């Protein structure tokens, strides 16, 4: 009965859909309290080990005691301590000290709250990128396979969403890939540019640590280096205020917002093509597209991506404004905002990549529909080729142009005013003026002659720019996505 009441209570308060409905377990854990506070304890252990190695009176028994209690966090006690102290870090210092009485005097020695707060954030950001990068690589891989498969399948190109010159299905996919390859480089650079805050003290001057080591600057620098190395960072920021510069958050979240823009564009294209019935996202055997219209096959995966991508792009305003108002060495008006914006950016990017991988693994192409659309538009696009063929056969360009203009207007009226099919080709075939080239019309109207170098561009782009980017992720490339809808 108690269990049922507790379960019901969960539905009496707001739960973030990003966690309860969408994001992967690994990304949800990355921003969990468990990850956060066990990392705080790791950082206190790193600090104690480094301080001990540099001569401070810390014993191995104290460190072992801390290590043995790293994961057994009494969250209820921590919550009660925070209620009393109104300070989350000190609440957890007291909670850790309660189960580590021998180590209690040296936990958090010389440090400020941002030692655990900011350094943990940097670890979480780095680990978040490490979750996202293989997912983005898999999306790129699936779309590259798709582009390769349809590299030479002609399709109508669109500018202004009006029919334009032909391209190929694979070439269009390469436009998507071009954006995503920029994104994977941006994410990798943002990840690799991250540094550790290290041990810098309350205003970033390391004054408390200089006092601990009795004015020995070399030991203070070595302490910073040792802790940075234990946390698996290659470098720490040489200068900080109380916090690391909040422009670091801008750098990280801008790469994610840019990814969001790319995904929104890709999934909008898929939605437009689904309306044309040329390409569809995967559709489950028993999936219902509409409660009222049984025939519908809504592109709900692509719509989900667009919906969440808008949120990801919108989150970019938070770190920009936060960084701009960090007075002097820091203010605390960053804290509440960052608890939301950092986590939500990574959680949102996580689910749109999982969803896009699912879409890209099951895209369905309908060549016959694509061919029909080409037939409806190609005669208009081929008029210049018909004129050139007539000139080669001895005709006058201006006379031929006028003939084609009149016939094109008549055919366009049939399409637009009568709702009929484009009959320009039939009109050309019936007009004795075009008798010299009738035998060439099939070749002139072959869609493959209108796609230019699209297949060659696909091949070169995939081999020179896309495949090499995926090499570092080969070991994680075979992961499939089971998408909860």
45-73 per-position pLDDT tens digit: 999 999 999 999 999 999 999 999 999 99
The CATH code of the domain at 119-152+169-282+296-365 is 1.20.200.10
pLDDT tens string 168-219: 999 999 999 999 999 999 999 999 999 999 999 999 999 999 999 999 999 9
Per-residue pLDDT at 82 exceeds 80: yes
Average pLDDT for residues 355-367, to the nearest whole number? 95
Contact 424, 411 (CB under 8 A): yes
Show the tokens assigned to 350. Answer: 């996580």
Check residues 350 and 387 and name the one with the higher pLDDT.
Answer: 350
H or E element in which residue 353 lies: helix 335-361
Task: Return the closest-CA partner of residue 18 out of 312, 270, 358.
Answer: 312
* Cα gap 61→50, rounded to integer Å: 15
Q: What share of the chain is helix, strand, coil (3-state, %, to 5)?
A: 70, 5, 25
Residue 442: predicted pLDDT: 87
Residue 368: predicted pLDDT: 96
Task: Return the closest-CA partner of residue 38 out of 129, 110, 120.
Answer: 120
Residue 416: predicted pLDDT: 87
Question: For the chain, how long is the longest CA-to-CA vector?
Answer: 105
* C-alpha 302: how far from chain center: 14
Contact 46, 123 (CB under 8 A): no
> What beta strand segments (E) does 318-463 contain?
364-365
Residue 408: predicted pLDDT: 87
* Catalytic center residues: 160, 290
Task: Return the closest-CA partner of residue 30 out of 136, 127, 114.
Answer: 127
Going by pLDDT thresholds of 50, 70 and 90, the confidence category of residue 7 is low
Does the 33-109 domain belong in CATH 1.10.275.10?
yes
SS3 197: coil
**Residue 220 CB contacts under 8 Å (≥ 6 apart), including other chains:** 199, 206, 209, 210, 213
Per-residue pLDDT at 291 exceeds 50: no
Sign of CA dihedral 90, 92, 95, 100: negative
Q: Among the listed ranges 354-368, 431-445, 456-470, which one has the minimum average pLDDT value?
A: 431-445
Does the pTM of the predicted model rise above 0.95? no
SS3 431: coil
Residue reference for tokens 């003026």: 433
Contact 195, 172 (CB under 8 A): no
Show the tokens assigned to 290. Answer: 């509409």
Stretch(es) of the chain classified as CATH 1.10.40.30:
369-449
Going by pLDDT thresholds of 50, 70 and 90, the confidence category of residue 482 is low
Stretch(es) of the chain classified as CATH 1.20.200.10:
119-152+169-282+296-365
Average pLDDT for residues 119-127, to the nearest whole number? 98
| Portion of the chain with pLDDT greater than 70, in percent | 95
The values of phi and psi at residue 470, to 5°, are -90, -10
Contact 310, 24 (CB under 8 A): no
Residue 6: predicted pLDDT: 64
| β-pair partners for 163 | 158
Neighbours of 302 (CB within 10 A): 25
Going by pLDDT thresholds of 50, 70 and 90, the confidence category of residue 22 is confident
Stretch(es) of the chain classified as CATH 1.10.275.10:
33-109
pLDDT tens string 255-290: 999 999 999 999 999 999 999 999 999 876 554 454
Task: Return the closest-CA partner of residue 125 out of 47, 190, 45.
Answer: 190
**Residue 2 CB contacts under 8 Å (≥ 6 apart), including other chains:** none
Q: Among the listed ranges 97-106, 188-197, 314-323, 381-390, which one has the minimum average pLDDT value?
A: 381-390
What is the SS3 assignment for 120-166?
A: HHHHHHHHHHHHHHHHHHHHHHHHHHHHHHCCCCEEEEEECCEEEEE
* Cα gap 356→195, rounded to integer Å: 30
Residue 294: predicted pLDDT: 45
H or E element in which residue 332 lies: none
**Residue 456 CB contacts under 8 Å (≥ 6 apart), including other chains:** none
In angstroms, the first-to-last Cα distance of the chain is 31
Residue reference for tokens 């008549």: 410
Task: Return the closest-CA partner of residue 71 out of 37, 104, 106.
Answer: 37
H or E element in which residue 405 lies: helix 397-418
Contact 253, 316 (CB under 8 A): yes
Per-residue pLDDT at 237 exceeds 90: yes
* Cα gap 395→255, rounded to integer Å: 58
Going by pLDDT thresholds of 50, 70 and 90, the confidence category of residue 380 is confident
Task: Decide: residue 116, CB within 10 A, 0-12 exposed, 13-18 middle, 19+ buried.
Answer: buried
* Cα gap 273→139, rounded to integer Å: 19
Average pLDDT for residues 91-109, to the nearest whole number? 95
Of 3.20.20.150, 1.10.1200.10, 1.10.40.30, 1.25.40.10, the CATH number of 369-449 is 1.10.40.30
CA torsion angle 429 431 433 439 (round to 10): 10
Average pLDDT for residues 334-362, to the nearest whole number? 95
* Cα gap 56→42, rounded to integer Å: 19
Per-residue pLDDT at 348 exceeds 50: yes
Q: Among the listed ranges 281-285, 304-308, 370-374, which one has the minimum average pLDDT value?
A: 281-285
Neighbours of 143 (CB within 10 A): 25
């Amino acid at each position: 009965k108690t269990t049922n009441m507790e379960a019901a209570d969960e539905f009496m308060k707001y739960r973030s859909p990003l966690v309860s409905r969408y994001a992967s377990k690994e990304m949800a854990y990355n921003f969990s309290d468990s990850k956060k506070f066990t990392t705080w304890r790791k950082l206190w252990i790193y600090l104690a080990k480094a301080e001990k190695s540099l001569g401070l009176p810390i014993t191995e028994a104290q460190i072992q005691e801390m290590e043995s209690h790293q994961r057994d966090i009494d969250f209820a006690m921590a919550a009660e301590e925070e209620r009393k102290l109104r300070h989350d870090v000190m609440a957890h210092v007291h909670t850790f000290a309660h189960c580590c009485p021998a180590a209690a005097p040296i936990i958090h020695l010389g440090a400020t709250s941002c030692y655990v707060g900011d350094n943990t954030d940097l670890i979480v950001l780095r680990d978040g990128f490490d979750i996202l990068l293989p997912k983005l690589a898999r999306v790129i891989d699936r779309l590259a396979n798709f582009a390769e498969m349809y590299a030479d399948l002609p399709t109508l190109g669109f500018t202004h969403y009006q029919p334009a010159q032909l391209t190929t299905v694979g070439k269009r996919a390469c436009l998507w890939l071009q954006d995503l390859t920029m994104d994977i480089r941006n994410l990798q650079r943002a990840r690799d540019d991250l540094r550790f805050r290290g041990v810098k003290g309350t205003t970033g001057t390391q004054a408390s640590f200089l006092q601990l080591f009795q004015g020995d600057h070399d030991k203070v620098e070595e302490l910073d280096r040792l802790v940075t190395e234990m946390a698996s960072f290659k470098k720490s920021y040489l200068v900080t205020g109380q916090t690391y510069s909040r422009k670091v958050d801008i750098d990280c979240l801008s790469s994610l917002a840019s990814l969001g823009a790319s995904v929104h564009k890709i999934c909008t294209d898929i939605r437009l093509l689904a309306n044309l019935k040329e390409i569809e996202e995967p559709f489950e055997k028993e999936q219902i597209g509409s409660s009222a219209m049984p025939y519908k096959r809504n592109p709900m995966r692509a719509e989900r991506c667009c919906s969440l991508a808008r949120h990801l792009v919108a989150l970019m305003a938070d770190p920009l404004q936060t960084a701009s108002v960090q007075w002097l060495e820091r203010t605390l008006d960053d804290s509440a905002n960052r608890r939301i914006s950092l986590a939500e950016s990574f959680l949102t990017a996580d689910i749109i990549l999982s969803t896009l991988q699912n879409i890209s693994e099951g895209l369905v192409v309908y060549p016959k529909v694509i061919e029909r659309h080409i037939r409806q538009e190609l005669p208009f696009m081929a008029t210049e080729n018909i004129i050139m063929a007539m000139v080669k056969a001895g005709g006058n360009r201006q006379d031929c142009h006028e003939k084609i203009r009149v016939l094109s207007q008549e055919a366009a009226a049939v399409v637009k005013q009568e709702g009929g099919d484009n009959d320009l080709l039939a009109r050309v075939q019936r007009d004795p003026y075009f008798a010299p080239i009738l035998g060439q019309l099939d070749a002139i109207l072959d869609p493959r002659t209108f796609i230019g170098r699209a297949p060659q561009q696909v091949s070169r782009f995939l081999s020179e720019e896309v495949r090499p980017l995926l090499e570092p992720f080969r070991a994680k490339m075979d992961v499939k996505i089971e998408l909860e809808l």
